[in-house]
Structure 1
C-alpha cells in the first residue's frame, strides 16, 4: 500500500474519535464498544492495518529523529484496566527506542510536591526529534485530585488558593501550557481510552482469576471503581475544557483492545504525516566529501 493511501486510511480510523472543540462534547455520546462496523471476524484485517501502521510509524519516526526539529508528545489518560500499557507497547513496538521517551506518572514524590503541579511534566518533555509518551500526566491533577479533594490538602497548596475557581484555573493553565508547546514545535496529542464499566469488571475478574495476571490487580483499583460516575463527570469536563485544534483529544473506544490499538496507531501516523517530515538535505560540499571518501574506499 502506498504511503498516501495508508495515511488516508489512518485518517478514516482516527478522525471519528478526534475532539478539536470541547464545548459540545458529551462522554455519553462516545461508545466504548464502537468499532466502526468491524466485528470479531474483521480482527485479522485490523491486525494487518495495525502492522502497516506500525511500519509507517517506524519510517516517520526515523525522519522525525533525523530532521531534529519537531517533538511529539502523546498523553494517555484512562480508568484502570483500559489498556494504556498494552496500547503503548503494541503501537510503539516498531519505533527506535533511541528516539522515544516514555514516562509513567505515579503519585507525586516529595520532590514533585515541592514544585507546582506542571513541573514534573515540564521536566519530562521530549527532546526535538523524539516522541514522548506520558502514561498519565498533569491531567491527574484535574481528575483524581478532584474526585479525592483530600489529596489537595497534602500537596502544600496555600489554602487561600483553593477556591471554587481552581479547576477552571487549572484548565486555563494547561491550555496555555499546551499552546506554548505547540508554538515551540512540540506537537501534543491526547488519548482518553474510553472503557465501559462492564468491561472493566470483566478485566478485573480476569486479573484476579488468572495467576499470571494477579500482579496487575491492586485493591485500590476496586476502590476507585466505586467512584465511577464521579470519574466520568470529571473526565468529560477535562476533555470539554482542554480539547483544542492544536492539542486535540482522541476519545478512543477501549472495550475491544484490537480496535483501540488500530485507532491509536492511526492517530499517531496521521499526526506525524502532517508534519511533512523529510530526511535532511546534504549540501554540495558534503556530497563532494562523500564522493571523495567513496573513491578512497573503492581503491582499498
Structure 2
C-alpha cells in the first residue's frame, strides 16, 4: 500500500537525506497499468468538478532541468477533457510582466472554477532562479533595490511569506493547491543530458544553459530546501517526488492528485431540474418526429 503521506515533507527539509529513486515496489508494467487506472478516474471526476463549478486545482511542478515534468504532464493529464486543463510554462518575464509585481502573471494564469491549471515552473522561480542569480531581481526595478548588495536575507524571507499569502488567498477562495518537487540526482541529470546529445531526435531539447545551471546544483538544492520548508502548508502542501524513475513519478503524482480530489466529497454531478426530468420521454419523442 502506497501512502502519499510518505512523500509529504515534515519540518525542515534536507534533500540529501531523501532518496531520489523509489520504484514504489512495482514493475514498469504495473506502474503503467496503475497510472492508466488513475488517469480514467481523474478524467471522470474532473468532468463532475467542471459541472459542479466551485473548485479549481492548481498543480505546481518544480525541479531541475530534465527532471521529467513535460512528459509527466503529457501522461498524467492525457485522458482529461481538453476544456478542463490548461498548462502554463513560465519563461523569463517579458517587459510587460516586469512592469508588474512578480506574482501578477501567475494570478492571470490561475484556473477558472471547475478546471485544472498546471504550472510547469511556477511562482517559486522567484525564490529559486532569482536567488541563485540575484542580479535578475534588478530587472524588477523595485524600490530601495539598486544593487545586488541591497538584496538581503530579509528580502527573501518577505518574498516567501508573500508566496504563502498568495497561496492562502486562492485556497480560501476555492483553488486547491498541490506542489510537487521532482527530486532527481545530479548523476541522473548527467545521464539524461548525455542521452539528449547522443540521440539526434532529442538534441533540440538540449540547451547550453542547462550545463551552466548545473554548475549551481548545490546552491539550487539549498534554495529548494528553504523554499519547501517555508511554504509547506496545509492549504498548499508540497510533495517531494523521487524522480530518477519517471514511470514511478508519474503514477505517484497522479495518485496524489486523485486522493486530494477524493477529499472533495461535495462534488457531485448536477441533476436535471425535476420538471425537465419528468418530461424526458416527451423530449425524446419531439426529437424523433
Shared topology, TM-score over 0.5?
yes
Correspondence 1:203 to 2:163? no
Structure-2 residue corresponding to 1:44: 29
Residue 141 (structure 1) aligns with: 126
Say whether residues 1:116 and 2:101 are aligned partners.
Answer: yes
Contact kept, 8 Å, 1:13 with 1:263, in 2: the verdict is: no
**In structure 2, how many angstroms separate the alpha carbons of the residues matched to 1:164 and 1:24?**
18
User: Pairwise CA RMSD of aligned residues?
Assistant: 1.5
SS in 2 for 1:31: coil
Alignment of 1:224 with 2:224, yes or no, is no
Q: Take 2:171 and 2:139, find their aligned partners in 1: how far apart are those partners? A: 32
Whole-angstrom CA distance in 2 between matches of 1:138 and 1:283: 42
Q: What SS does structure 2 have at the residue aligned with 1:165?
A: helix
SS state at 1:212 partner: helix
Structure 2 counterparts to residues 281-296 of structure 1, below 5 A: 281-296=271-286
Q: How does 1:17-56 map to 2 (within 5 A)?
A: 17-19=7-9, 21=10, 23-38=11-26, 42-56=27-41
Gaps of 5+ in 2: none
8 Å Cα contact 1:13/1:266 also seen in 2: no
> Which residue of the partner structure matches residue 95 of structure 1?
80
Farther off after superposition, 151-160 or 69-78: 151-160
> 1:6 matched to which residue of 2?
none
Aligned-residue offset at 1:285: 2.3
The count of corresponding residues between Structure 1 and Structure 2 is: 284
Identify which range, 135-144 or 25-34, moves more after superposition. Answer: 25-34
**Partner of residue 259, structure 1:** 248
User: Which sits farther off after the overlay, 265-274 or 200-209?
Assistant: 265-274
Q: Deviations over 1:62-108 (max 9, x none)?
A: 11111111000000000000000011110011111111111100000
Residue 190 (1) aligns with residue 179 (2): yes
* 1:164 partnered with 2:164: no
Correspondence for 2:263: 274
Asked whether the 8 Å contact 1:32–1:254 carries over to 2, the reply is yes
Which 10-residue stretch deviates more, 28-37 or 65-74?
28-37
In the alignment, is residue 64 of structure 1 matched against residue 54 of structure 2? no
Q: 1:125 is matched with which residue? A: 110
Question: What SS does the corresponding residue of 1:201 show, helix, strand or coil?
Answer: helix
Q: Secondary structure at the match of 2:278?
A: helix
Question: Aligned-pair distance for 1:150?
Answer: 1.1
> Taking CA–CA contacts closer than 8 Å with sequence separation of 6 or more, which of the two structures ends up with the larger relative contact order?
1
